[in-house]
Structure 1
């Protein structure tokens, strides 16, 4: 069983936990106090000019949060919105000013999570920015990309300076039992379980369907992981099922936090391979990979991103995607629809092509770009900012 020391520690109750428990209580109280200062108007939160969705987890080292963020970007884009992602910078990078993360960014400077998000979000032309102060990163992003009309914050559970239009908390499918039930440092929880009730939505993997005594179960929405398969990184049309592996040396590698689930999936897919759990992220190097003398390397997408600088056609990536139920999709669109009903928000939207201002036509339910002579529809309260969905204005139509 591939379990890290920290996970093993958080599943137990020892004398050390009894010593740390008072610190956990003080931490919970500090979170409540901080939350109250904004709730009762003692401090004013920072509001972005566009809706912001907070996506975070109640447990440490979440491995499902980033995958859900990728799904959310895809969902919003497919519904005509133009999302962007903001996140805290990597703790060891000492990056002071906000920067944009791309697929060519140095992962030692921006971190694995930001690299993973940039890798997937680039497919939807969705920018990803990081910075030390999450409350200001979005403003720099919007200056550089004024056509973005929804922000997704990949963390921010305790950053109450950020006014949140929608908060989604993701429960890891491997940690839904919350370990020993204690808050840090005595346990794996980042806050008391009652904190879940303040979220607009709680996302949980369908295979762990159950009720929680301390949680408003009406806020729980279930998602499932689509059928998994391996595809070649460079030849995405090649599928592992059709590959002849007889006589070839297969190695499956995974970082310690992904190892258990990844190796369980290999067993489910009836794939036999040598397995390596990597404790130190810095081990994902060309030298280490070459030392395996493997003909085929099986790896998760999250770990493959760490190998982009030297990845080759030996790499086969486990493709997974989240499928959310209809109820969650409707909830998301309804919440955003409420925000876009504010005409002040519609007034600040810009044309995705020329980045120029738009004219709001209430009766026609359209946003008009005078320069490009295009009309972007507003359907069910949601502005559809896609060129393919826009109406080209005829020469005789006045704006």
Structure 2
């Protein structure tokens, strides 16, 4: 369990010390945004529209499935998107494209998941400096006519044309409803009224006051089907595993979600949780007593080269209503 899990989902005496830091953090972000708005700090304007997609919380909150849906949607509408994402590795290098499975050892799991699904139709680039990364992508792929920025809600140096903020109402994501570092939120909820598009996931809870928000669009995540890693064409409903002896492997980032999923689906599964950014090895998926081994898709991609026939991937897919699709097209048309 992460140290943050011990206090981000409750109120403890520690929060009397952390709350003033949260106030300063919020003030700093507001000041930073104002400086960019007044052109005191220089920003970068790209020659193509930029869509920024981020979560209000440090948790993913469904942001990655939404981004995958967005890529497919833009391609069907005739756009040629490119994705930029932040390099979270310990040894950052210059902006570069994720081009092969060999990049997995030096790439964040979610970034590699994006490349796994999108790289044939949408280049995925990583780098510490998002503006420089976007410029390198456009230089290499001049046919790209739209940039999707994964994360970057508070990275004001790169100007965005459309901002999509994901709000996950689960306890794991919203926690105690406080701003960092006292809680898991990266943005004050009342600031959401300034966002272009707010996409929600789940049912509202009492922590977040939605009275001052703009219009919200609900996203539904589906994760009731798994596929075999050796042969992705083989797919089965998760309900077919209910009477099986299962082992669920994940890193700490997905452990709480996996535990909730096991309980929700009433699976007979033993959960194995590993450290953040853990690199799985062959012996860890060698579990002879298991009828099947399940892993979140972003984790299981590490195991493709040494997978066995018991290994199954659990993907997340986003369903978005037609109203949001129409709004996106309208905003993009107005930007051209």
TM-score by length of 1: 0.76
Question: For the residues of structure 2 that align with 1:291 and 1:228, how far apart are their CA atoms?
Answer: 23
Q: What per-residue deviation string (whole Å, max 9, x for no partner) do you get for residues 346-385 of structure 1?
A: xxxxxxxxxxxxxxxxxxxxxxxxxxxxxxxxxxxxxxxx
Name which one, 1 or 2, has greater alpha-carbon Rg.
1
2:258 is the alignment partner of 1:265: no
Q: Residue 174 of structure 2 aligns to a residue in which SS?
A: coil
1:216 to partner: Cα distance: 3.9
Q: Residue 314 of structure 2 aligns to a residue in which SS?
A: strand
Question: For the residues of structure 1 that align with 2:28 and 2:239, how far apart are their CA atoms?
Answer: 55
1:42 to partner: Cα distance: 2.4
1:180 to partner: Cα distance: 2.1
| 8 Å Cα contact 1:251/1:298 also seen in 2 | yes
1:167 to partner: Cα distance: 0.3
Q: Residue 252 of structure 1 aligns to a residue in which SS?
A: strand
Which residue, out of 98, 101, 104, partners 1:104? Answer: 101
Counterpart of 1:188? 184
Change (3 A) 1:16 1:110: same
Change (3 A) 1:239 1:131: closer
Change (3 A) 1:215 1:118: farther
1:161 to partner: Cα distance: 0.9
2:135 is the alignment partner of 1:135: no
Counterpart of 1:165? 161
Which residue, out of 63, 66, 73, partners 1:65? Answer: 63
TM-score by length of 2: 0.90
1:252 to partner: Cα distance: 1.6
Counterpart of 2:50? 52
1:242 to partner: Cα distance: 10
Q: Residue 299 of structure 2 aligns to a residue in which SS?
A: helix
Change (3 A) 1:174 1:105: farther
2:11 is the alignment partner of 1:13: yes
Counterpart of 2:230? 234
Q: Residue 309 of structure 1 aligns to a residue in which SS?
A: helix
How many residue pairs are counted as aligned between the two chains? 335
Counterpart of 2:25? 27
2:41 is the alignment partner of 1:43: yes
Question: For the residues of structure 1 that align with 2:86 and 2:235, how far apart are their CA atoms?
Answer: 36
Q: Which moved more, 1:5-14 or 1:21-30?
A: 5-14
Change (3 A) 1:269 1:229: farther
Counterpart of 1:350? none
Question: For the residues of structure 2 that align with 1:244 and 1:29, how far apart are their CA atoms?
Answer: 51
1:280 to partner: Cα distance: 4.2
Q: Where in structure 2 are the equivalents of 1:193-232 lying within 5 Å? A: 193-205=189-201, 207-209=202-204, 212-213=208-209, 216-226=212-222, 228-232=224-228
1:130 to partner: Cα distance: 0.7
Change (3 A) 1:187 1:266: closer
Change (3 A) 1:339 1:31: same
1:89 to partner: Cα distance: 0.6
Unaligned 5+ runs, structure 2: none
Q: Which moved more, 1:85-94 or 1:153-162?
A: 85-94
Q: Residue 85 of structure 2 aligns to a residue in which SS?
A: strand
1:177 to partner: Cα distance: 7.1
Q: Residue 106 of structure 1 aligns to a residue in which SS?
A: helix
Q: Which structure has the higher relative contact order (CA within 8 Å, separation 6+)?
A: 2
1:305 to partner: Cα distance: 2.1
